């Protein structure tokens, strides 16, 4: 199945918005330095930085400006001041990270690739990527600081994108500020290829795309949902195998919103098997007992492709299905065959 996907590499031309950040970056001890591009002229500083540094929320950037960690043309900055293009912005990255009290922890990592610029991680289920929301220790960030202490000098320890706690698979981490800026630009331009394997409930008959905005659920604020005023989001899916009451999909992302695949597939009536948040639906006893074997959402980031930020080489990594998803698929295949071929 996965071999077939490798041979049929996705030739779809993804539409890409113009790059928001044409800023140059350099590592100068513990600082981030950039130049405001002309296409952001007229914005407030906090708005411009939110576009240039999308790895941080606007509210967090506002806090750092107010704490005087940001200067413009050598002068202490304010959130409301406007930029007109060409200004030199300097942010004290070490102060930013030290405020978060991140600690190195000896947590084992499965590393598929590492050089002076990148680390490719194969993340297991149960590992939170970044501290927060009650998970202040035992995260991927803590593990990275132990594995490569120099990452304490890179914002967010080089993390540029995330996987949910119980989603398995591939993540890229930048080892330098320059590499981080380059990877953020690639994510903005939608040239980073992220491919997933997903087992959903119900029988899907054909390939498709979900193009629907995602934002906070209007009632349950810890969840995401398709909402009219949400951020644009697009997920492509391809049917790989059909089973009794479930379907195995290959999903690819054009955008990277929180819980995107989980929310989009729920929106078309096919939530992920095992999803504790988005798939609380009634199931036939046979499929319910089978899905219960997997106490997490059946989602695996199996392939990651990008341009190396230093060499410019196109690179591709793959991760086999973890044992829990592989075992669940084997059980479902056997169950489907027994239903299709009764004694």
Burial code (b: 16+ CB inside 10 Å, e: under 16) for 293-318 equals ebebbbbbbbbbbbbebeeeeeeebb
**Cβ–Cβ < 8 Å for 113, 120:** yes
Q: What is the largest CA-CA distance in the chain?
A: 80
Residue 69 corresponds to which tokens in the numbers above?
A: 């960690």
For residue 182, what are the contacts with CB-CB under 8 A and spacing of at least 6? 174, 309
**Cβ–Cβ < 8 Å for 81, 45:** yes
Determine the Cα–Cα distance for residues 214 and 224; give it in Å rounded to an integer: 7
Residue 80 corresponds to which tokens in the numbers above?
A: 């409301």
Q: Across the strands, what pairs with 114?
A: 119
Q: Is 340 helix (H, G, I), strand (E, B) or coil?
A: helix
For the beta carbon of residue 29, count every other beta carbon within 10 angstroms.
8
Q: 63 φ, ψ to 5°?
A: -65, -40
**Cβ–Cβ < 8 Å for 140, 130:** yes
Active site residue 164: yes
Residue 302 corresponds to which tokens in the numbers above?
A: 């199996």
> CA-CA distances (angstroms) from residue 217 to 128, 206, 223, 259?
22, 28, 5, 12
Residue 286 corresponds to which tokens in the numbers above?
A: 């046979």
Q: Which of 10, 46, 122, 164 is catalytic?
A: 164
Determine the Cα–Cα distance for residues 274 and 317; give it in Å rounded to an integer: 26
Active site residues: 164
């Amino acid at each position: 199945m996965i071999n077939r996907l490798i041979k049929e590499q996705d030739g779809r031309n993804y539409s890409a918005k113009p790059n928001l950040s044409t800023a140059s970056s350099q590592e100068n001890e513990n600082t981030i330095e950039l130049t405001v591009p002309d296409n952001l002229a007229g914005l407030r500083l906090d708005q411009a930085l939110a576009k240039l540094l999308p790895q941080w929320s606007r509210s967090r950037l506002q806090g750092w400006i107010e704490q005087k960690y940001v200067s413009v043309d050598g002068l202490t900055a304010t959130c409301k001041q406007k930029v007109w293009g060409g200004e030199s912005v300097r942010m004290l990255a070490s102060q930013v990270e030290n405020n978060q009290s991140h600690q190195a922890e000896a947590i084992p990592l499965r590393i598929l690739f590492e050089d002076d610029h990148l680390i490719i991680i194969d993340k297991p289920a149960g590992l939170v990527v970044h501290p927060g929301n009650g998970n202040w220790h035992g995260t991927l960030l803590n593990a990275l600081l132990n594995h490569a202490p120099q990452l304490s000098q890179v914002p967010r320890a080089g993390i540029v994108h995330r996987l949910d706690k119980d989603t398995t698979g591939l993540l890229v981490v930048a080892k330098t500020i320059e590499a981080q800026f380059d990877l953020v630009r690639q994510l903005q331009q939608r040239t980073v290829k992220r491919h997933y394997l997903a087992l959903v409930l119900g029988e899907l008959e054909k390939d498709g795309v979900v193009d629907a905005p995602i934002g906070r659920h209007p009632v349950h604020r810890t969840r995401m949902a398709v909402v009219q005023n949400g951020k644009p989001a697009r997920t492509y899916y391809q049917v790989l195998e059909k089973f009794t009451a479930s379907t195995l999909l290959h999903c690819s992302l054009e955008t990277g919103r929180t819980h995107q695949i989980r929310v989009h597939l729920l929106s078309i009536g096919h939530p992920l098997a095992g999803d504790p948040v988005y798939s609380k639906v009634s199931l036939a006893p046979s499929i319910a007992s089978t899905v219960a074997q997997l106490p997490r959402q059946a989602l695996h980031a199996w392939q990651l492709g990008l341009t190396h930020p230093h060499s410019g080489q196109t690179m591709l990594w793959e991760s086999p299905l973890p044992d829990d998803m592989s075992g669940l698929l084997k059980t479902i295949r056997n169950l489907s065959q027994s239903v299709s071929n009764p004694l």
